[in-house]
């Protein structure tokens, strides 16, 4: 963050956390300023990290609405989403919350023929396991056990965001339920890209294991909360890689972009 801000400070800009951007978006003059900053930020990222990232209409407006995802992570997601479109398969999101990231990805997929599969319990977080040691008490609850049931949002909110983007209903699959109870028949046959934001060890590990046989070479997975909130996310990724070491390349984000991990399917 400091590195990026040092670049923008020369032009009178700075990069802020999403909560700050969301508040600012309530004021038209501040929204315009942040949209200009996002456009400039994307230009810097395209020149330095993501040369193949295409320009897509409404991207920055949707970034202003993101909840929980830093803007830099959103750009990583979009970069690998577009790279994955060279591979057969649909796009999945595991853990959709309010649907802000779902809408962002849906907007990027409008000109493709890919389906968007959204998996969420819609009942909040599951019960954590002993591998979900707390790293960051994001809600100030004091212990990880109290996070069970938090972050619950209705399907209607997600559907409304997708409708506003104009994403086709026939290309949308919303799968409700805790991941361990979702039958194998409720997944796409092929997946080119997946964003896994299940927070805790067990659901993340299950999602990765179910994605593995459905992804061809060149597919990507972005796993959120690696090294953030719960230790379980990183544990799940490392256990999965240990069992499939020859099948994936680990693409660690830049030092200013932490809290997630990217996996590229090799075999």
- In this structure, are strands 191-196 and 116-120 parallel, antiparallel, or unpaired? unpaired
Q: What phi, psi does 172 have (nearest 5°)? A: -115, 130
Domains and CATH numbers, the chain: 69-265 (3.40.50.150)
Question: 23: Cβ–Cβ under 8 A, 6 or more apart, which residues?
Answer: none
- pLDDT at res. 68: 87
State how far the Cα of 15 lies from the Cα of 241, in Å rounded to an integer.
33
Q: What is the DSSP letter of 182?
A: S
- pLDDT at res. 12: 45
- pLDDT at res. 2: 39
State how far the Cα of 46 lies from the Cα of 32, in Å rounded to an integer.
21
- pLDDT at res. 214: 98
User: Quick check: 125 and 148 in contact, CB under 8 A?
Assistant: yes
Q: Going residue by residue through the chain (267 aa), what tens digit of pLDDT does each one get? A: 434 444 444 444 444 445 444 555 556 668 888 999 999 999 999 999 999 999 999 999 999 999 989 999 999 999 999 999 999 999 999 999 999 999 999 999 999 999 999 999 999 999 999 999 999 999 999 999 999 999 999 999 999 999 999 999 999 999 999 999 999 999 999 999 999 999 999 999 999 999 999 999 999 999 999 999 999 999 999 999 999 999 999 999 998 899 999 999 999
Give the distance, in angstroms, between the CA of residue 242 and the centroid of all CA atoms in the same chain: 23
Query: Beta partners for 222?
Result: 195, 262
């Amino acid at each position: 963050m400091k590195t990026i801000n040092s670049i923008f400070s020369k032009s009178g800009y700075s990069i802020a956390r999403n909560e700050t951007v969301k508040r600012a978006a309530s004021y038209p003059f501040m929204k315009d300023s942040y949209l200009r900053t996002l456009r400039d930020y994307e230009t810097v990222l395209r020149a330095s990290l993501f040369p193949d990232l295409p320009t897509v209409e409404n991207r920055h407006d949707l970034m202003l609405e993101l909840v929980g995802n830093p803007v830099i992570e959103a750009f990583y997601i979009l970069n690998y989403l577009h790279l994955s479109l060279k591979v057969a398969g649909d796009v999945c999101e595991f853990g959709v919350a309010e649907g802000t990231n779902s809408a962002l990805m849906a907007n990027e997929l409008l000109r493709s023929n890919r389906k968007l599969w959204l998996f969420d319990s819609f009942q909040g977080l599951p019960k954590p396991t002993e591998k979900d040691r707390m790293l960051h008490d994001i809600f100030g609850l004091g212990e990880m056990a109290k996070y069970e049931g938090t972050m619950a949002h209705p399907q209607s909110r997600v559907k409304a965001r997708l409708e506003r983007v104009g994403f086709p209903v026939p290309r949308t699959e919303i799968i409700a339920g805790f991941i361990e109870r979702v039958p194998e028949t409720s997944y796409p046959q092929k997946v080119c890209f997946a964003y896994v934001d299940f927070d805790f060890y067990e659901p993340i590990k299950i999602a990765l294991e179910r994605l593995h046989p459905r992804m061809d070479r060149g597919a990507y997975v972005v796993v959120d909360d690696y090294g953030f909130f719960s230790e379980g996310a990183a544990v799940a990724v490392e256990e999965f890689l240990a069992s499939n070491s020859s099948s994936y390349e680990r693409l660690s984000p830049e030092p200013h972009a932490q809290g997630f991990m990217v996996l590229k399917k090799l075999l």
